[in-house]
Structure 1
Amino acid sequence: MTFSASPVFPSRRLGAAGLAALALALTAGCSGGGSNNGGATDGQVSPPPPAPVFAAEIRRTGFGVPHIKAGDEAGLGYGIGYAYAEDNICLLAGHIATVNGERAKYFGAAGATGMTGAANVQSDFYFRLVNDADAVAVALKAQPAEILALLKGYVAGYNRYLEQTGAANLADECKGQPWVRKLAEADMVKLVRGYAAVGGVGQFVEAISGAQPGGPLPRAGVRASGPIGPPVAPVQEVARNPMTPEYWTRLHARSGSNAVALGRDGSDNGQGLLLGNSHFPWSGPLRFYQMHLTIPGKLDVMGASLAGLPLVNIGFNQNVAWGHTVNTSAHFTVFQLQLDPADPTKYLVDGKSRSMLRKRLSIDVLGADGVLRSESRELYVSDFGNLVQIPGMLEWKNGVAYAVRDANLDNHRMMEQWYAINRAGSAAELKSAVLRLTGLPWVNTLAADKDGNALFLDVTVVPNVSSAQQASCVPAPYKALAAYGLFVLDGSKAACDWALDPAAAQPGIFAAAKLPALSRGDFVQNSNDSAWFSNPEQPLVGFPAIVSVEGIALSGRARLGISQLQARLAGSDGLAGKRMSMAQMQDMVLNNRVYHAEHTVDDLLRLCAGGKTALADDGSSVDLTQACAKLAAWDRHANLDANLGLVYFAGTWDRIGGDDSVWAVPFDPADPVRTPRGLKVADTLVAATVRAALASSVRDANSQGWAADATWGSIQVAKRGGRNIPIHGAADQYGVYNAIGSAPDGKGLRDVTEGTSYLQVVGFDKNGPQAQAVLSYSQSTHAKSPYFADQTERFSQKAWITQAYTEAQITADPAYSSKKIAE
């Protein structure tokens, strides 16, 4: 097995042509009386062995970042697949089982998937439905040659690492496990389809996998495929409810992001400056992976990508840097179907009956006794998408049923889109590529280039539902949801189906030119709000609600980001000048200001004068003395040294933050950055509500046993083996730009679950891109890897890492190593 790209014996598998050449050479070498001409006889020269199909060089620098160089896409994919497997083969192998609908087979019915949060059985039926053979074949056929080459190469590289290492020698997390197997190109397509739909029908997994005429499907006993075992008790599958605006607000908070692009009028040197601050889960397939990809003369891009994707999702090249934020556009709609009175599996459109497609699916389920049993279901598909059922809201009875259709399941352009972005020569070229392909699934794009152009694009795959259709096609009970971009349409009328626009990249979506876009010389920003207030000087208005909603309250993160940008460019933040430097942008994202605390803690302290004790929500009397003292001493930041004032505020805000009646100054659409603010402390009812919330927060904190001098860094940690690494930042709902979510571990600590993940600040100067970045949870998910916790330690210290991008920087790195692979 060779690690050389040399043409001499370049492959582990010679193939038919190679074997023939080798046989010829051996025959020539063994014949008597031959001349000394390299083994040939009678003047014949043996043909050289064939050139490798895949060849790449993997060079690593500090913190395990691979710089992968190849002569073509096949070789590049090969290097990516191999490098990723070295660091995360267990993570990707588990995710491949997910998108193939095989979690219950290997992990049993209990447990949930990392991508959708659904239980294994529901997840398996969902993925068997959306990733059926026909859909995967269509998606694979739609890929251009360059993408196919990347996929083939990735599969070959991953498989090479697996074969070379051996299942018994893999990382402990998956050593010898049956769910670790070789990949095929179809697996990669299923992976991409899973990512594409995670912002749409991927949130309806239970509702799709349990939909049945007459009521939701209870989980029946399963039929044994091996020895007869004990029956499995029926369990009701409870669906989440993604049919509320609050559900999507919470989802965006857990998997959102901040991004800022400064142009020539905003950066200190007049060239572009970009912040990308992704907020994604710290475990599971939505983890980012850093890499640098090079095809000389064609591609030179660096950044981070989701598991299994052979391209950079967020990053920079020599000309332009970009980031993404999860957008608020809807990528699916629900259709209310009028059932045919003669058959609940038929429905009427303009009075004509149509039959649902009935699909019988089977999965294997591993029982607690170790026996595999087969479970089957019949699921249904209409012309308006998969049938769906949410008890109490979307029911399949009384003459109606509901279907959900996701535009991204027909979006086969995702990888082609990111490849075009990776090669963009400017913000204008990047914009042109996005408008041409419209392949981004559910993210805004913000970009800054070396010439000082700043760009915002909310151009994604969005169902073409006009404002007129919103008025005429949404049944009355669902009108309020439509105002937030969450659509239920009347499926009994063909006129209520998604409109066709010949200029659109696929049938039934908006043409890119009709979606929000903004180019500026000062700044654009987004923190998972709609496109509306990307720059306060130029609001983006007039779009259908399914695309962008205007005139609604901004998140605390957005208000904090905009206010910091405005203060810096106005020179009113106490710093010199009216431009932003890279260092100032780094401080902006990691200063850990708690925006809502800045506007409410003074009022909380006023309420402390209302008495030493207050009643908590369980009726218990709580002493507020320590809490009020800590709140007074707290600097209103979520840094490691923050005292318990942060904890007391957070618990209070969890209880009152969603109550608009507590605000002294209510939301004003004409002043969305500064409103709402302040607590209505003069109102007796509000004062009592807030004091009770504070008392409840103190009671909860006391139950954790924290010492009076405890700091945030001693409470919120990332667990890495036997180490607890202190982590700064706090949850999105408090208005912290560095959003970090954590959950109690039952032992007095809060373990980080999501938030700031791949963090980059990229500027440009005469020497090209200058990038500082950190991957908060580190490169590898393998506990024994040297790259398991190294960047997490750096993130804890707010210690940014200079990214090695040029050849000189790469080869000069103290941790530099190189490996050549080929076959």
Structure 2
Amino acid sequence: MKTVLKILAVLILVVLITGGVYLWTPSGAEYNEDEIKAVASEYDARIIRDNFGVAHVFGQTDADASFGFGYAHAEDDWTTIQDVVIAARGMSAQYKGKSVAPQDYLYDLFKVHEAVSEKYDTEVRDDVKAVAKGYADALNLYAVEHPEAVLPAVLPITEQDVLAGFTWATPFFYRLDGYLEELFTAEDKPNVSPWQQTAELDLPDAVRGSNAFAVAPSRSADGHTRLILNSHQPMTGPYAWYEAHMVSKEGMNIAGATFPGVPIIAQGVNPNLGWAQTVNRPDLIDIYALEVDDFDNPAQYKLDDEWQDFEKTESEFRVNLFGPFSLPVKRDVLWSEHGPVLSTPTGHYAIRFSGLQGVGALQQWFDMGKATNMTEWRDAVAQNNVLSFNIVYGDKDGNIGEVYNAKMPNRIEGPDWEDILPGDQSELIWTDFRPLSDMPQIWNPECGWVFSANATPFNVTDPACNNNREDFSETFGIEDRITNRSRRALELLTNDESISREELLRYRADTRYDPQSDLMRLVVDLVSRSYDEPILEDAKEVLRNWDGDTDRSSRGAALAVITGTRALGYEYKENEMDPVEAFRQSAEDLRLAFGRLDPEWGEVNRLQRGETDLPLDGAPDVLRAIYANRDGVADSGSMNAFAGDTHIMVADWDEAGELDLVSIHQYGAATLDADNPHYADQAPLFSEGEYKAMPMTLESVLPLAERDYRPGQTE
């Protein structure tokens, strides 16, 4: 018996050891800390932190500037950058567990790693490689200097990781995942959209917004050219703006903002020109229903009446269990002539989309930032490697423009490309793209101004100067949407024949809902009803007396906005809750928290960060866009802003072409460090709608210097 027990114990031990080896998470690639420091010492980058902690980076070369920028970025936001790197390798589940496993499968399904490996040498210019490498080398330096902050197997970070981040993330800006949602089960839906990343609030609603304005000398009161960059993003997390200024002796001098893991400024202003981007929704994806030979184990699909073999590979990733243990997972990856294939309970669907395996977005943004005039900038945009976005442009020579940017598939006319397509017709498999010149755009209109607020591109200036929808193919799938922000901007600017700086800034921060907006239509409906409950009759009177304004002193905005976002979603378009029930719940919450149905909006609508707690004007889909937690009154007594107006820049070129540039960030330069004085030092200015100066030369930065240092250099 003892012998049997010994044998059993040995077998159990062998099983445990074997299981432990199988589940033990690999340690990753080897690296040498001394080599990382030696590589870093070869860069010549100077970081000057101004009085707001903003990093002004000066380098001999563009790569030096990117190195210095990467180091500063890591100092302020290492944890988020690290998460981006992990996602750019398709390894999120190895660290975060089962909930993010679907996105690692999509990473492998889209063959992101293969695309970067195959195209890096042939489709990425050497100067762009150097910029990506400089950023990666800076991240490695910061990481070896702060080993306590680094997760296992993250180092070394490579320039290919930086490029893979673009290849992986950019399609989700036009909501690739939104198009695919119906193909997933609830458990398998990937949470990868920039518009679902709202950090600790974990709110599921999209915040697809942004404003941009450009006014030419012919329309401005003083002959100046003005450009406003007013992007709406989550306030924290992987898609929150990070502000910086990068300068090199190779012609780079750009101030603006970018996202964690991005080695250059994604939108900004240089002394000669600037641009702002707002989200658009062109139809850049097609879904094909395939006929397969075996539903449960398909090997072939039908195309033009012939059976074709699937290209079959494997997705391999690991799912964290606990501690150093993770479960290896393997799943089949199928490709057809159309592209990657999703096998779902309802069928097998091939997907084809703009940006699949693309590696050119970094190069285009890099070239846009270094352009010195409109011709160079338009040549950069014509690369058509940034997949989407409306882009508004302005420059020192008085040129303005608006482009409905889209890497548009060159499709045949006739089919309903927005529906699921038959997968057995090869003529529906497009192989190239339309040139950007085919997209709606306006350059130097006689009306003298353009704007964008995520609405249709056929309504972006005075009616006399707009494009006509009839001139553009239905295959583009251009949206018809008209936002409240677009209604208000059109009313304000169309009626102003001579727009001063003060007026333009006031229009940018407008807080009113148009009578035709979805929220005001809901308010009219609620006021028109009769109610048996006294609280609803009282609430009706609050809405009846509300003028549609959301400045902080308003006494009807809280009831209207909370009701509207509950009933219609944060974008006022989804029908999420019965309107009367949303009205009742909102009224009850306000009375319980404030003892009245009409507290001042500034008491409710707050900017809260650490010990900072400030009132805010604005609300969803007003030009002063603020998205705050609609359930916050019930949960904590106030609504904390999580998205909307974030980083804002105002570029003003005078008649001689001299630039005056101001900016604001909703919090401050120190993204994660609550003990840093710049964690929320811009919040008071942001709350009051004010701006800070953004110096663009070494001579103008030095008087503001708070810290001056050279990463990688020994003292």
Task: Give the TM-score category using the shorter length.
Answer: 0.7 to 0.9
| Whole-angstrom CA distance in 1 between matches of 2:458 and 2:517 | 25
Residue 135 of structure 1 and its aligned partner are, at CA, apart by: 1.5
Find the counterpart in structure 1 of residue 631 from structure 2.
744
Q: What is the aligned counterpart of 2:684 among 788, 793, 796?
A: 793
- 1:220-276: per-residue Cα shift (whole Å, max 9, x none)? xxxxxxxxxxxxxxx95357999xxxxxxx999613211111112222232321111
| Whole-angstrom CA distance in 1 between matches of 2:136 and 2:189 | 37
| AA aligned opposite 2:434 | F
Any unmatched runs of 5+ in structure 1?
1-11, 19-49, 110-118, 169-174, 217-234, 243-249, 475-481, 501-507, 570-578, 616-620, 663-688
Higher deviation after alignment, 131-140 or 64-73: 131-140
| Whole-angstrom CA distance in 2 between matches of 1:426 and 1:78 | 26
Q: What is the aligned counterpart of 2:652 among 759, 763, 768?
A: 763
Q: Establish whether residue 492 from structure 1 lines up as the match of residue 424 from structure 2.
A: yes
Q: Structure 1 pair 75/603, CA: closer, same or farther in 2 (3 Å)?
A: closer
| Whole-angstrom CA distance in 2 between matches of 1:799 and 1:428 | 33
Find the counterpart in structure 1 of residue 403 from structure 2.
457
Instruction: Give yes or no for contact 1:648–1:701 (8 Å, CA) kept in 2.
Output: no
Residue 99 of structure 1 and its aligned partner are, at CA, apart by: 2.4
Larger radius of gyration: 1
| Whole-angstrom CA distance in 2 between matches of 1:275 and 1:445 | 12
Residue 822 of structure 1 and its aligned partner are, at CA, apart by: 4.6
Q: Establish whether residue 322 from structure 1 lines up as the match of residue 275 from structure 2.
A: yes
| AA aligned opposite 1:127 | Y
| Whole-angstrom CA distance in 2 between matches of 1:652 and 1:13 | 58
The residue correspondences of 1:34-183 to structure 2 (distance < 5 A) are 53-109=42-98, 119-141=99-121, 142-164=123-145, 166-168=146-148, 175=149, 177-178=151-152, 181-183=155-157
| AA aligned opposite 2:424 | S
**3-state SS of the aligned residue for 1:366?**
strand
Q: Establish whether residue 402 from structure 1 lines up as the match of residue 321 from structure 2.
A: no
Residue 284 of structure 1 and its aligned partner are, at CA, apart by: 1.7
Q: Establish whether residue 282 from structure 1 lines up as the match of residue 235 from structure 2.
A: yes
| Whole-angstrom CA distance in 2 between matches of 1:147 and 1:599 | 45
- The CA RMSD measured in Å over matched residues stands at 3.5
Question: Sequence identity of aligned pairs in percent?
Answer: 21
Find the counterpart in structure 1 of residue 200 from structure 2.
none
Residue 201 of structure 1 and its aligned partner are, at CA, apart by: 7.1
- 1:446-484: per-residue Cα shift (whole Å, max 9, x none)? 101112111111232122224x1xx2x34xxxxxxx4xx
| Whole-angstrom CA distance in 1 between matches of 2:106 and 2:404 | 29
Q: Structure 1 pair 255/51, CA: closer, same or farther in 2 (3 Å)?
A: closer
The residue correspondences of 1:150-549 to structure 2 (distance < 5 A) are 150-164=131-145, 166-168=146-148, 175=149, 177-178=151-152, 181-199=155-173, 202-203=176-177, 236-237=187-188, 254-296=207-249, 298-340=251-293, 344-367=298-321, 371-388=325-342, 395-396=346-347, 401-435=348-382, 437-466=383-412, 468=413, 471=414, 473-474=415-416, 482=417, 486-498=418-430, 500=431, 508-519=432-443, 520-521=445-446, 522-535=448-461, 536-540=463-467, 541=469, 542-547=471-476, 549=478
| Whole-angstrom CA distance in 2 between matches of 1:308 and 1:57 | 20
**3-state SS of the aligned residue for 1:623?**
helix
Residue 525 of structure 1 and its aligned partner are, at CA, apart by: 1.4
Q: Structure 1 pair 447/64, CA: closer, same or farther in 2 (3 Å)?
A: same
Instruction: Give yes or no for contact 1:589–1:738 (8 Å, CA) kept in 2.
Output: no
For these two proteins, the number of residue pairs brought into alignment is: 657
Q: Establish whether residue 558 from structure 1 lines up as the match of residue 486 from structure 2.
A: yes
| Whole-angstrom CA distance in 2 between matches of 1:820 and 1:341 | 62
**3-state SS of the aligned residue for 1:57?**
strand
| Whole-angstrom CA distance in 2 between matches of 1:742 and 1:659 | 14
| Whole-angstrom CA distance in 2 between matches of 1:15 and 1:278 | 36
- 1:656-711: per-residue Cα shift (whole Å, max 9, x none)? 79999x9xxxxxxxxxxxxxxxxxxxxxxxxxx98777556434544656645633
Residue 146 of structure 1 and its aligned partner are, at CA, apart by: 0.8
Residue 806 of structure 1 and its aligned partner are, at CA, apart by: 2.9
| Whole-angstrom CA distance in 2 between matches of 1:417 and 1:236 | 36
**3-state SS of the aligned residue for 1:790?**
coil
| Whole-angstrom CA distance in 2 between matches of 1:755 and 1:201 | 18
Instruction: Give yes or no for contact 2:164–2:359 (8 Å, CA) kept in 1.
Output: no
| Whole-angstrom CA distance in 2 between matches of 1:298 and 1:180 | 33
Q: What is the aligned counterpart of 2:501 among 582, 594, 603?
A: 582
Any unmatched runs of 5+ in structure 2?
1-32, 194-202
| Whole-angstrom CA distance in 2 between matches of 1:77 and 1:781 | 21
Q: Structure 1 pair 15/799, CA: closer, same or farther in 2 (3 Å)?
A: closer
Residue 602 of structure 1 and its aligned partner are, at CA, apart by: 10
Instruction: Give yes or no for contact 1:200–1:406 (8 Å, CA) kept in 2.
Output: no
Residue 632 of structure 1 and its aligned partner are, at CA, apart by: 5.1
Q: Structure 1 pair 548/264, CA: closer, same or farther in 2 (3 Å)?
A: farther
Q: Structure 1 pair 537/462, CA: closer, same or farther in 2 (3 Å)?
A: same
Q: Structure 1 pair 406/691, CA: closer, same or farther in 2 (3 Å)?
A: closer
| AA aligned opposite 1:134 | E
Instruction: Give yes or no for contact 1:263–1:273 (8 Å, CA) kept in 2.
Output: yes
Residue 492 of structure 1 and its aligned partner are, at CA, apart by: 1.2
Higher deviation after alignment, 312-321 or 695-704: 695-704
Residue 324 of structure 1 and its aligned partner are, at CA, apart by: 0.6
| AA aligned opposite 1:349 | L
| AA aligned opposite 1:529 | A
Q: Structure 1 pair 351/370, CA: closer, same or farther in 2 (3 Å)?
A: same
Q: Structure 1 pair 238/157, CA: closer, same or farther in 2 (3 Å)?
A: closer
Instruction: Give yes or no for contact 1:594–1:736 (8 Å, CA) kept in 2.
Output: no
| Whole-angstrom CA distance in 1 between matches of 2:411 and 2:171 | 19
- 1:538-560: per-residue Cα shift (whole Å, max 9, x none)? 3322222343537x451111111
**3-state SS of the aligned residue for 1:404?**
strand
Instruction: Give yes or no for contact 2:527–2:543 (8 Å, CA) kept in 1.
Output: no
TM-score, normalised by the number of residues in structure 1 = 0.73
| Whole-angstrom CA distance in 2 between matches of 1:155 and 1:345 | 41
Q: Structure 1 pair 52/721, CA: closer, same or farther in 2 (3 Å)?
A: closer
Instruction: Give yes or no for contact 1:441–1:460 (8 Å, CA) kept in 2.
Output: yes
Instruction: Give yes or no for contact 1:639–1:713 (8 Å, CA) kept in 2.
Output: yes
| Whole-angstrom CA distance in 2 between matches of 1:261 and 1:100 | 39
The residue correspondences of 1:666-815 to structure 2 (distance < 5 A) are 694-695=583-584, 697-699=586-588, 701-702=590-591, 707-708=596-597, 710-732=599-621, 735-745=622-632, 746-765=635-654, 766=656, 768-779=658-669, 780-813=671-704, 815=705
